[in-house]
A = this chain, B = another copy of it.
Amino acid sequence: MPTRAVPETIGPAPAVLEANQRFYAAFHSLDIAKMSSVWLQEDWIQCVHPGWDLIIGWDEIRDSWARIFANTRRIQIALSGVRVHAEGDVAWVACTEHITSAFESSFDEALVQATNMFVLREGAWYLVGHHASLLLNVPESKVQ
């Protein structure tokens, strides 16, 4: 879970960044109820996990997180290069995820580039798109 939030913002979008932090807190918690609360639970939302095919709609996206959570014992996520842009009631955050995962009998480290899309509904920002992909190189100096 990111503990230091010193993002490079473009425009003042603290509420979007807070929604982004809630997403990563839910990811860190491995708690499907927390993860459910950050997404807009509609049938058009989309998710791409690293190397996975596109997943459309909340039901399938929820299932994908449930599978990831069931197969992960513990996860640490640090973010770097956090950038936000808001355009009306839509906003997106780009960030690099530094992920350490503990599984049943192994560890894995990954550097992942993510684009997270949010929409504003009744005063709250909800996640509607997550595109995450593995980076080929690990630029250690970029870790915040």
Contact = CB atoms under 8 A, between A and B. Distances in A.
A10 B89 CA distance: 19
Interface residues of A, number: 35
A46 interface: yes
A24 B48 CA distance: 21
Given A88-B88, A115-B115, A46 B131 contact: no
Contact of A131 (B10, B89, B115): B115
A117 interface: yes
Nearest to A133: B133
Q: Is the interface of A mostly helix, strand, loop or mixed?
A: strand
Contacts of A135: 51-53
Interface in A40-70: 44, 46, 48, 50-54, 56
A131 B129 CA distance: 12
A30 B11 CA distance: 33
B51 A115 contact: no
Most central of A94, A96, A131, A132 by chain B CB within 10 Å: A131
Interface stretch (A14-22, A79-87, A100-108): A79-87
A129 to B, nearest CB: 7
